[in-house]
Structures are given as C-alpha cells and as structure tokens.
Amino acid sequence: MEPMTRRHFVKRSGKALAGVTAGLTVISRAQSAFAANDEIGVAVMGIHGRGQDHIKAFAGSFGCRVVALCDPDTSLFESRAKAAADKQGTSPKCYADIRECLQDPDVDAVSIATCNHWHSLGTIWACQAGKDVYVEKPASWCVFEGRKMVEAARKYNRIVQVGMQNRSSRDVRNAMARLWAGEIGEVYMSRGLCYKPRGSIGLKSDTESPQQLNFDLWLGPAAKRPFNPNLVHYNWHWFWDFGNGDIGNQGVHEMDKARWGLHKGLPVKVHSSGGRYGYKDQGETPNTQVATFEYEDGKMLVFEVRGLPTNDELGARVGNLYYGADGYMSSGDKWQPRIGYKGDGQPKQGLQLPEVGGNGSGDHFGNFIEAVRARDPKLLNADVEEGHLSAALCHLANISFRLGRTLAFDPKTEKFVNDKEADALLTRKYRPPFVVPEKV
C-alpha cells in the first residue's frame, strides 16, 4: 500500500522550483496545516547513535512514518531499517547522500542526528528543499552557521526544532517561571555544570577508510584529511573540526538552562581557560574548562566542564545552579529554593508565574510534530533561534579558550569588538560543495 505521505504531499505542494543549492530540485510544500489524519514522512539523517532514538520516536508515532534513512556508513542500513519496519510495518528507503534524500517527495521532515559539523548544512539544505527539521544539539558547529540556520528557517517558512529536550520538561519549565517571577529574588548569576567522566581516547594511526563508509561525505564541510578510527563513531566530539568539546556536547543542555534561567541572550564579554589534563591522547578539546560570560547589565553566567574525578555541586554533577538576591536554587536539589544566608527560609508566596515560551507538552519530538501540523513555529519549545543562542555561548567560550584571552563581543552584530583574529573563528573555510552559504 502506498503511504499517505506522498498523496498528501502532492496535494499541498506548490510549483517545483529549480534549486540553486546542492543541485537539488526543490519541491516547496504549501503552508497550510496538516489534517489530523495526514501522515508525516520523516527522514532520519545520522543513524549510528542518537539517530536510533529518532527512528524509535518517529516510526509509527505522532502520525509519522520513517520513510528514509540517511548515513554515509551503509553498514548501518539493514539493522536500522529493520528497527523502523518492526515498529511501523514498512521499511524506509536508504540513502548515503543527504542531497538525494532531500529530493524524495515522500520526505516532509528531516530529523538530524549527525556529527556537529553537519548540523547546520543539513538543516539549511532541508529548509531550502521545503522540509521541516528536527536537529540535535548543539544547533551549530560555529556561530556563523547558527545564524544562517535561523535565516533559512525564516526565509523558507520552515519549522525547525533543536534537540534541547529540557525545554519540553514541565519541571524545568516551571523552575524557569519561578526564577523569572522572583522566587529567589533577582537572579544575578547562573552556573552550568558538566561533570561527566571522560577517559583517554588513546592514540590511533591514520588508515584506509572502511569500504562501507563514504568518508568524503562524512567529512562534509570539514577540511579534507585521512581517515582515523578515533573519529568514527563517537570521539569526533573531541576534535575541533567536527565537535565542540564537552561544553558543546552534554554541556550545551546545561548552557541552555543557565541562559534560560538568567533570561538572557548573548554576552558582551567572555573568558575561558582550562586544558586537557590527566593523560596525553589524541583529543584536542579541553577535558577541564571554566567559562565566564558577562552581560551588559553586569549579570554573569559561569560554566564548568570537569572530565576527571570530581565532587558534585549542591547535588548536581550535570545540571544548574542559580543565585538570586534572596537565595539560590539547584537542579540537583530538585529545583527547591533555598532562601536566606542559611538557606532555610521560605520563598515568596503567591507569585504570578510568567510564560516561558512554547507549550510544555512534555514530549520534545511530539512538540515538533505538533508545530509541523499547525505550521506554527510559536508552538515550538526549542525554536532554532533559542538553539542558536545557547550553542553560540559554547562557541564563544571555545574561541576564548583557543586564543587564551578575554574577548569583547557585540551581541547585535554577533561579532567580536575590533578583533579579526577572534572573528575568524566564528566560521570556517568550507570545502566545496559542502558550503554553508552567506546568503541562504
């Protein structure tokens, strides 16, 4: 039986347009809402690790069907396609190249769980091809890419959700509202903690790429280099060309909550220092890092990465702390406010809790599909703009770390202040044809 997706796609489709990006023929879906019984076809891009969760989430759930899988490692196709088929009854098509996948009219939305350096380009190409996007955290590999993602989503009227699942947690949303309402007084500082144990990845020699892996496609926007088994499939996180260290891995979740609770965007000053301590291995990013961000009104956001053995902080090893004029709050303490210098006082009663954005559905994937059906980005709990800002904080910290100095930043232009050396690290030299364009 032919999936409903194709029939409904054609009904909603406008005129086919000649694509100027990646040689695609773009079919732009009309902006009318999906009917309640319309089946949404999802392609999952990046299916090794987190992508398996995407397959489970969308296969036969929320009125969706996984119609395509995309990964440069073709050895994954059989097992991942079977996982989808076992849940939804039909097997998805498989593509090594995202450009071919995006020309499939059965694909209404693309769910991206690739390495970080592919997040932005995959999102932009999908938007240009008329597809909605769920993209894993961090939204981008660099600051420039994040802004281009926002521009693409707005220009092509796409629904783009970033995988910062805490934005859909009712407990976290409630805690943010209480902070904004003044439960611990005016919040002047927030802290994000990423204390995850990270051992040595050792040293491995370059070698030939496995036959089933198209390593050129895997590299995508990154510079050409020989295959190394320490890159595929996880340790790429610790190499600058592909990942962003733990501050941009697990840390971006806590960075997002730290920024959210502080009710801020981008800072005017950043300083970060640290190192890769305790062992010598092939990794490039720090396993220990402290970053401090200062805002125009003097409020501060502090972030710590500790990959070696360490204590927790008020019950949290991966989490957040907030400090206000009247007290403090920790996610490790289940968001209980501690009032007064001894932390035993009672918080204010009868607070009017403000809206914190989104709709608090409790299911991040489901929230994305709800917004897709309604064609309303305001329903998203983690719109691409929010994802860009939180990822950008991680990128700014890494730039300060790599340059070894404090940096002044202009949040309006998203450039450093009279600092060409730092500005150069806001983007990268792209490898054609995998280019994130200046004009999307």
Render pLDDT for 375-408 as a digit per residue (tens, 0 to 9).
Answer: 999 999 999 999 999 999 999 999 999 999 999 9
Cβ within 8 Å of residue 389, ≥6 positions away: 146, 259, 265, 266
The span from the CA of 203 to the CA of 230, in Å, is 8
What would the mean pLDDT of 255-284 be, rounded to a whole number? 98
When mean pLDDT is compared across 8-17, 42-51, 228-237, 356-365, the lowest value belongs to 8-17
Instruction: Give the pLDDT score at 360.
Output: 81
Q: Is residue 360 part of a domain?
A: no
Average pLDDT over residues 257-286: 98
**34-56 tens-digit pLDDT:** 766 789 999 999 999 999 999 99
Q: Among 165, 184, 210, identify where a domain stops.
A: 165
The mean pLDDT value for 205-212 works out to: 97
Pairing of strands 40-45, 109-112: parallel
Check pLDDT > 60 for residue 16.
no
Q: In whole numbers, what is the pLDDT of the chain averaged over residues?
A: 93
Query: Which among 372, 352, 388 has a CA at the least distance from the CA of 142?
Result: 388
Helix 51-58 vs helix 364-374: angle between axes, to the nearest 10 degrees? 60
Share of the chain above pLDDT 90, in %: 89
Residue 260 confidence class, pLDDT cut points 50, 70, 90:
very high
Residue pair 417/409 in contact by the 8 Å Cβ criterion: yes
Compute the distance between CA of residue 415 and CA of residue 392 in angstroms, rounded to an integer.
11
Identify the CA nearest to 203 among candidates 279, 294, 305: 279
Coil, helix or strand for 272? Answer: strand
- The rounded distance, in Å, linking the Cα atoms of 399 and 424 is 10
Same domain? For 142 and 180 the reply is no
In degrees rounded to 5, what are phi and psi of residue 273?
Answer: -145, 165
Which three-class secondary structure state does DSSP give residue 190?
strand
Domain hosting residue 94, numbered range: 4-165
**Among positive and negative, which fits the CA dihedral 378, 384, 389, 393?**
positive
For residue 137, give both structure tokens. Answer: 């955290």
Q: Is residue 377 part of a domain?
A: no
CATH number, domain with residue 146:
3.40.50.720
Position 96 scores a pLDDT of 98
Give the pLDDT mean for 159-171. Answer: 97
Percent of the chain with pLDDT over 70: 92
pTM as predicted: 0.93
State whether 122 and 160 are in the same domain.
yes
- C-alpha span between 314 and 331 (Å, rounded): 8
Q: Average pLDDT in the 243-267 region?
A: 98
Residues 120 and 211 in one domain: no
Residue 67 lies in a domain: yes
Domain assignment present for 366: no
